[in-house]
Amino acid sequence: EDQVTQSPEALRLQEGESSSLNCSYTVSGLRGLFWYRQDPGKGPEFLFTLYSAGEEKEKERLKATLTKKESFLHITAPKPEDSATYLCAVATGNQFYFGTGTSLTVIP
Amino acid sequence: DGGITQSPKYLFRKEGQNVTLSCEQNLNHDAMYWYRQDPGQGLRLIYYSQIVNDFQKGDIAEGYSVSREKKESFPLTVTSAQKNPTAFYLCASSIREHQPQHFGDGTRLSIL
């Protein structure tokens, strides 16, 4: 069964304290892995697409990496405005499967 | 500015009533999607459409219906057969299958 699991469920960081969020997946025929940011009461905002193992993408304080079984979203020196829920999704066949997200809180 | 517009932002349904959620996009995307988001659960796919006049059921289509008469529009009807409709509904579009999906800001549906 296709499955996407994100960990941890929640993460509290001090401002400037770097960390990583994990997205592990078991799907047949990965067509792409996607990271999104979701603020309360809003729709998810697209961040990155990764298509093959070894690929990396960066945007400001965020860096996404992909292996054959998991993806990491690295957050370097986070700021309070990085507080949000981060969602991972995989495309396989004709569907997207979303994880339940990691709720990140960055404390000033 | 190109984007996806969902309306209304908040919607209340009475028992036995059908309600329709609007989703319009001006991104010229071929594919459109409807998801339901409940606390503690990932987004679950209700329906999707790859082209005009064609759509497929997702994982939780029971109690919902859609139409795709225009490329820009993909309305979702929550019928009285959906016994637990209270949720946050998200519409998305992508240029084609397996490409990043871009989301609207959602409609929150509650039961009166």
The tens digit of pLDDT for each residue in A66-80 reads 999 999 999 999 999
Q: Which residues of B touch A87 (CB under 8 A)?
A: 42-43
Contacts of A18 (CB under 8 A, 6+ apart): A74, A75, A76, A77, A78
Q: Residue A19: what pLDDT?
A: 98
Q: Which residues of A touch B4 (CB under 8 A)?
A: 43
Residue ranges of E strands in chain B: 4-7, 10-13, 19-25, 31-37, 44-51, 54-57, 64-66, 76-78, 87-94, 102-103, 107-111
Q: Residue B83: what pLDDT?
A: 87
Over the stretch B4-44, which tens digit does the pLDDT of each residue have?
999 999 999 888 899 999 999 999 999 999 999 998 888 99
Out of A43, A49, A99, name the one closest to residue B104 (CB): A43
Q: Residue A48: what pLDDT?
A: 95
Average pLDDT score, chain A: 94
**Residue A94, pLDDT above cutoff 80:** no
Supply B45's token pair.
């796919």
**Residue B1, pLDDT above cutoff 70:** no
Q: How confident is the model at residue B111 (pLDDT cuts 50, 70, 90)?
A: confident
Q: How close B63 gets to chain A, by Cα (Å)?
A: 20
